Amino acid sequence: MDEKLTLMAVHAHPDDEVISTGGILAGYADEGVRTVLVTCTNGEQGDGPGGVKPGEPGHDVEAVRALRLEELRESATHLGISHVELLGYQDSGMVGWAANEARESFVNVPFEQAVGRLVEVMERYRPQVVVTYDENGGYGHPDHIQAHRIAVAAAEASGIPRKLYYTAVPRERMAEVFAYLRSIGAGPEGVELPDDFGVPEEQITAVIDVSSQVERKRKALEAHASQGDSIFLLRMPVEAQHRIFAYEAFIRHINHVPAAGDREDDLFDGLR
């Protein structure tokens, strides 16, 4: 493939692509940037048809896999994603779930094997910019942490990405959203944001205005209808959704672009 501008997002499950990176995927696609979504697992530990939870009678792993991958295809269409690459690993589930112990689960596959497969994808598309989770996977999910580990290792082993970013939740912005929800009587009762929730503003190196992509993000998230019970954002008032969806924040971890600024509004800063 040619060396056209390419953004690659490395995510753990179907639906992860929307909240933290749906805006940049849609926005950069509109600009003609090639957008590549790598989804590491098939999401088998999500809710099944009818809302059947993992571990409950009737939870059919194969049916969940088929449904979630179909939802992923619809989401990618809403976001205009150029290419979806499925690594096809088995969903490991949340911390403490029985799926953590399965040999086929993403967290248990040989690390170098998973890194090698992602290196192959990077060699195929040669992304200048890669986006993934931070060291804690955003919120501690085993598959998110593993996706982080292989993305960083593949970037370093291949030497291809010029820049690699971690997704970030701005602490101050989320506090403002919670305050807004309470002001309109829509805040979750008795729920307070932990003092260490999210990332302090001074650690964030890029904030991208994706307000023009909010409706596409909403449609992409709604495409993952089978997971509606766990996607709390869909139950928020539209104004609160807009406040959350309109900006996406990142922390730059790898940078081989001397011209890139310290506070970016474009992940391709210094590359065009």
> What pLDDT, on a 0 to 100 scale, did the predictor assign at position 111?
98
Chain mean pLDDT for the chain: 92
Q: How confident is the model at residue 3, as a pLDDT?
A: 81
According to the model, what pLDDT value does residue 2 have? Answer: 52
Q: Distance between CA atoms of 268 and 266, rounded to whole angstroms?
A: 5
Residue 212 sits at φ, ψ, to 5 deg, of -75, -10
DSSP string over 126-149: --SEEEE--TTTTT--HHHHHHHH
Q: Positive or negative, the Cα torsion across 256, 261, 266, 271? A: negative
| pLDDT tens, position by position, 189-246 | 666 777 778 899 999 999 999 999 999 999 999 999 998 776 777 778 888 888 889 9
Percent of the chain with pLDDT over 90: 71
Q: Which of 7-11, 59-63, 122-126 has the lowest mean pLDDT?
A: 59-63
Average pLDDT over residues 153-160: 98
- Per-residue pLDDT of 238-257, as tens digits, reads 888 888 899 999 999 999 99
pLDDT tens-digit series, residues 101-110:
999 999 999 9
Long-range Cβ contacts of 181-185 (<8 Å, 24+ apart): 181/236, 181/237, 181/240, 184/237
More confident residue, 139 or 269: 269
Q: Among the CATH numbers 3.40.50.2000, 3.40.220.10, 3.40.50.10320, 3.40.50.720, which is that of 6-255?
A: 3.40.50.10320
**Residue 56's pLDDT band (boundaries 50, 70, 90)?**
confident
Q: What is the pLDDT of residue 188?
A: 64
Q: How far is CA 223 from CA 57, 85, 167, 219, 263, in A?
A: 25, 18, 22, 6, 33
pLDDT grade for 54, boundaries at 50, 70 and 90:
confident
* Distance, CA of 49 to CA of 35 (rounded, Å): 30
pTM, entire model? 0.94
**Listed residue (251, 78, 61, 265) closest to 171, CA to CA:** 251
Q: Rounded to an integer, what distance in angstroms lies between the CA atom of residue 23 and that of residue 207? A: 11
pLDDT at 1 exceeding the cut of 50: no
pLDDT digits (tens, 9 = 90+) for 101-146: 999 999 999 999 999 999 999 999 999 999 999 999 988 999 999 9
% the chain with pLDDT above 70: 97
> How many of the other CB atoms lie within 10 Å of CB of 71?
21
